[in-house]
Structure 1
Amino acid sequence: MSVTDVLGAVALALGAASAVVVAAFVVALVRRRYDTIDSFWGAGFAVIAVTGFLAEPRGLGSSLVVTALTVCWGTRLSWHIHRRNVAGGEDRRYTEMLGRAKRYPRLRMFCKVYLTQGAVMWFVALPVVLAQRQADELGALAFAGIAVWAFGFAFEVIGDEQLRRFKADPGNKGAVLRHGLWRYTRHPNYFGDACVWWGIYLIAAQHLPGVATVLSPVLMTWLLARGSGKPLMERHLAASKGGYADYVRRTSGFVPLPPKF
């Protein structure tokens, strides 16, 4: 893979990410809801992947595989988040940001939320677009990556479904989900998400340019484990759900571990 190939893939991903966040912001203005970006988050990666694949298709090997995995993960996540958010009101994180904006609130939201998420989207997707420019074969590292991706995807989907069913039961209002995957980690969806991106990185790492993108899954893992609204969400849950503080004390915050007694 030449330097020109690498720069071309990186630039194309940046253009696709920029188009996604601009489109999301326009929809947000129409809907008057800034949490629209959350619904676009997973789909943005799918758009980047499809754009990169169509720009230079490389056959049925790693290029097609990494594109399919990214689109599968991204579209599923976007649909899940949209279905979860559409019935509720604006996300409290964005409401608080708007409340702190003294002047030009729309511009501030675009720069602070949408451009920031677009930059993260672009950076995290670099393993995808570089894997798409590799030779067609799938080696042992790629098959390991597919296995890690599949484990993470299943973990994320199962965790989300367990939480959805728990919330759908009126008898669980105000209660804390402590069974299933949620018995071993407070955020099985986040842990599964991280595994998905480490799996994609392993596919990209078959060749040297892909190896250099290791900071992409590192950033995604850090955001999921330490950032991305997790501290704010846990503070809110501790204040609104009885027993959540005890759940935090007993249950791992990210990596699945046996609960403490």
Structure 2
Amino acid sequence: MTSGMVGHPSTSAIDHGLSGSLGPRLQAIQPSFKMNPGDLGILKSTLLPSIGIYSCFSLATFIAAERTRRVELKDWLWPSGQVATAWWAAIGRPMYEKGVSFLDAWTGLSWTQKLLLGCVTAWGARLFARIASRSLKRGGDDPRYEASKKEPGFWKSALFNMFLPEAAVLSVISLPFTVPFTTSGTTLSLTTTTLDTVRAAGAALFGIGFGMEVLADTQLELHRRERSDLCRHGVWGLVRHPNYLGDTLVHISFAVLNIADSFNPIVLLGPLANYAFLRYVGGDKQTEASQEERYQADDPKKFGQLKMWRKEQNSFWPSLRDLTKPWAFAVAGCGLIAVVVEEGLQTTFDMQ
């Protein structure tokens, strides 16, 4: 709905005022996870463990989905699995492999790594709560999956055709928040000022994407309480799928935050995989195909609105005209708020 490392010298654990016996302990922890960018070890230390974790999660989810006849349980795994993988890479792995405490593992992270982990957690927790509450309120499976379940032998092939393939996709999407905790060094040579600027840009991008997701879900929920037609106002007046656009911007922000600490080009595959999945597999393409089928059969008014909406509004990326709308500025304001919050939190952590 994701092991400590040596960060940039300006944001390392030592620069955060660590002294006494804790400093040497953290220095002893971190070198064991060093790996030069491009080493074949990145496959062993990052991607393969993620595939193993997600495959186990997917298998368990498939068993629960088959018994309850609710395919949508895999949607519960999408955000929760990413958060779990990020915390395992950042905290769980050094605790398990080196026997350090939670506090030592947390303190060993640079500020940018803590920020990245916090952003992943905030995004995943909110999305999981949204998906779970909507699912429980509905009381049945997501309409997008009803047609698929009617196909002969669906449950016999679903594990290999749907659940495990998504586990592989999630492993790639998670690279921006697994690689920085299992590798060290950077392919970039940037000044401290530039790094601070890049980190602020990542925070702003996260704020914009996160804000758009929250606004989209909130406005849609309020609209459905009052009306039965399509929601086409607010951020839904910027693009037809603002929630998917927000999700894309959030995942791009994870890669941007990598640049501010320990950047490996492989992390760029994460937002690219997420974008490709949302655009061409399980996002707006699947959603609109399901809407078109259901509305054409049961709700001619909505079907007509959908056809007109497609002519007037872009599906995923806003046009230049849409960027001048008030709600576009409101979303941009979320980015500014995120930068202010990031600066405040960093100052607070530096003082501790």
TM norm structure 1: 0.87
User: Which protein shows a greater Rg?
Assistant: 2
Checking the alignment, whether the CA contact within 8 Å between 1:62 and 1:132 is kept in structure 2 is no
One-letter amino acid matched to 2:204: A
Q: Equivalent residue for 1:140?
A: 197
Q: Are positions 1:112 and 2:150 aligned together? A: no
Q: What is the aligned counterpart of 1:47 among 84, 108, 119?
A: 84
Partners of 2:219 and 2:142 in 1: how far apart? 22
Aligned to 1:197: 251
TM-score under structure 2 length normalisation? 0.66
Asked whether the 8 Å contact 1:98–1:109 carries over to 2, the reply is no
1:76-225 equivalences under 5 Å are 76-88=126-138, 89-102=140-153, 105-133=154-182, 139-169=196-226, 172-173=227-228, 175-206=229-260, 210-225=264-279
Contact (CA 8 Å) 2:144, 2:290: kept in 1 or not? no
1:151 Cα deviation after fit: 1.1
Aligned counterparts of 1:121 and 1:230: Cα–Cα separation in 2: 18
How far apart are the structure 2 equivalents of 1:229 and 1:255?
14
**Contact 2:70–2:141 at 8 Å: present in 1 too?**
yes
Contact residue 6 and residue 209 of structure 1 kept, 8 A: no
Count of residues in Structure 1 that have an aligned counterpart in Structure 2: 254
Deviation at 1:223, TM superposition (A): 2.0
Identity of aligned residues (%): 23
2:117 pairs with 1:67: yes
Aligned-partner residue type, residue 242 of structure 2: P
Q: For 1:226 and 1:109, how far apart are their aligned partners in 2? A: 19
Q: Distance in 2 between matches of 1:203 and 1:95?
A: 39
List gaps (5 residues or longer) in structure 1: none
Residue in 2 that maps onto 1:37:
74
Answer yes or no: is the 8 Å Cα contact 1:101–1:108 preserved in 2.
no
Match of 2:46 in 1: 9
The change in CA–CA distance for 1:153 and 1:28 in structure 2 (over 3 A counts) is same
| 2:143–2:290 Cα contact (<8 Å) kept | no
* CA–CA separation in structure 2 for the residues paired with 1:12 and 1:64: 21
CA RMSD of aligned residues (A): 2.4
**Structure 1: which amino acid aligns with 2:150?**
G
CA contact (8 A) 1:67 1:132 kept: no
Q: Deviations over 1:73-132 (max 9, x none)?
A: 111111101211223322344332232233xx4331111111011111111001111122
Q: Which moved more, 1:78-87 or 1:148-157?
A: 78-87
Contact preservation (8 Å) 2:112, 2:261? no
Q: Indicate the residue corresponding to 2:56 in structure 1.
A: 19
Determine which of 309, 330, 334 is the counterpart of 1:247: 309
Q: Deviations over 1:7-45 (max 9, x none)?
A: 312233222222321222232234221211112211110
Question: Please, which runs of 5 or more residues in structure 2 have no aligned partner?
Answer: 1-33, 95-104, 186-191, 323-352
Q: Deviations for 1:134-159, whole angstroms, at most 9, x for unmatched residues?
A: 56996432332122111111111111
CA–CA distance in structure 1, aligned partners of residues 80 and 239 of structure 2? 26
CA 1:142–1:132 in 2, change beyond 3 Å: closer, same or farther? farther
* Cα gap change, 1:229 to 1:193, in 2 (>3 Å): closer
Q: Matched residues in 2 for 1:5 and 1:65: separation?
A: 23
Q: Single out whichever of 231-240 and 79-88 deviates more from structure 2.
A: 231-240
Cα contact 2:113–2:261 (8 A) shared by 1: no
Q: Take 1:61 and 1:5, find their aligned partners in 2: how far apart are those partners?
A: 23
